[in-house]
Structure 1
Amino acid sequence: MRRTRTLSTFAVLLVAACARPEPSDVESAAYAPFARCTGDDRRVCMAKVEAREIANASGRVRRRGQRLTIRLGNGETTELVNDTSDSGSAKRYVYAGYLPSIRHHVVAVSYYEGGAVVLLHEQTGATTEVHGFPAVAPGARRIATASVDLIAGYTPNHIRVWRVTDTHLELEWGLDGGTRWGASDPVWHGPHVVTFTRHTLPSPSAGPNEVVRTPMRLDLRNGGLTVQPQAP
């Protein structure tokens, strides 16, 4: 009887190991700290998210009025200061959290018109401004960012793939949609394949309710890349 139980336990462990997803099967969507912050209370909601993420930062991040201070691993600090003027120079920083897999702090920044995301390396302090929150590839050697603003045009329309190095991010590949199309919702399927949604307008005068959304697939394998509509 004892031998039978041992064999059964081994069989269960074997099945569990076989069911564990391989790196090529792992999916990783974009970081979305403010996904629930919509409508008129968006700014209040974002402030609550920021307070939570600062509390989780183990003393490395502080908010004092309009000043956001981040202490780096090299002993230095980076300070981001809001500009609350009613002018083209206005900007507001909101701490969005820390991504340990790529060793970057994430900060959302709102400008007088439009906005961006600042990725700050926790050791070197190197900053990279991107448009859209990052999706980290399995293995954390790449990230993808996507942006769409076909109506107002405050932010660029594009998709980007960045290489993660020990000290900073390097732009590996990008495709610009201009005024013709934008991208959103990047999702990694393993370390080399990204799916995203392409947004297009049927005509220059089309409104936001007429946007056509097409699932796309970006493949970075075999030393090159292909972009094509995703198969159903």
Structure 2
Amino acid sequence: MINAASGKRAFVDGVPIPSPDANYLAVASADLTAGYNPNRLSLWLVRADALEKVWSIEPTDWSPGPIRWLGSTTLQVLRTRVDPQTGEDITLDTVTVELEAGVWRLVESKQASNSR
């Protein structure tokens, strides 16, 4: 992405999804098996002259599926993995990424944490 005012560039892994207040962008790239693209979920702060990556995770046992903002500081993420026998995507669970006291963190659902 290129900032129209400053010309500064930021390289993102996928299609950015803006938060409702347009202060953040969420970007998901899912490639757990082939390895051609990063398997990453990242959050970017939108500044007047550039984007700043403020949080990122590169999971090794799941991929970020569809993402959607639940509010300006809460992102919902569907976690998936590929079934090794069928090659089909399997939905594991839904988690959130939340901004709390200035820090972004992944919050697992109670069901997911109880089953691990």
By the TM > 0.5 criterion, same fold? yes
Match of 1:136? 18
Match of 2:114? none
Q: How does 1:60-209 map to 2 (within 5 A)?
A: 119-178=1-60, 180-201=61-82, 205-209=84-88
Greater helix percent: which structure?
1
Q: Secondary structure at the match of 1:130?
A: coil
Give the percent of matched residue pairs that are identical in Structure 1 and Structure 2: 25
List runs of 5+ in structure 1 lacking aligned partners. 1-118
TM-score scaled by length of structure 1:
0.43
Cα displacement (A) at 1:150: 2.0
List runs of 5+ in structure 2 lacking aligned partners. 112-116
| Closer/same/farther in 2, CA of residues 187 and 176 from structure 1, 3 Å limit | same
Match of 1:228? 108
CA–CA separation in structure 1 for the residues paired with 2:25 and 2:2: 14
Cα displacement (A) at 1:222: 2.8
Any conservation in 1 of the 2:82–2:88 contact (CA below 8 Å)? no
1:135-176 alpha-carbon deviations (Å, 9 max, x no partner): 101211111101111231111111101111111100101111
Greater strand percent: which structure?
2
The structure showing larger relative contact order (alpha-carbon pairs under 8 Å, at least 6 residues apart) is 2
CA–CA separation in structure 1 for the residues paired with 2:5 and 2:92: 39
Structure number with greater Rg is 1
Cα displacement (A) at 1:213: 3.6
1:83-118 alpha-carbon deviations (Å, 9 max, x no partner): xxxxxxxxxxxxxxxxxxxxxxxxxxxxxxxxxxxx
Q: Secondary structure at the match of 1:196?
A: strand
| Closer/same/farther in 2, CA of residues 148 and 169 from structure 1, 3 Å limit | same
Give me the CA root mean square deviation: 2.1
1:58-102 alpha-carbon deviations (Å, 9 max, x no partner): xxxxxxxxxxxxxxxxxxxxxxxxxxxxxxxxxxxxxxxxxxxxx
1:3-38 alpha-carbon deviations (Å, 9 max, x no partner): xxxxxxxxxxxxxxxxxxxxxxxxxxxxxxxxxxxx
Any conservation in 1 of the 2:78–2:91 contact (CA below 8 Å)? no
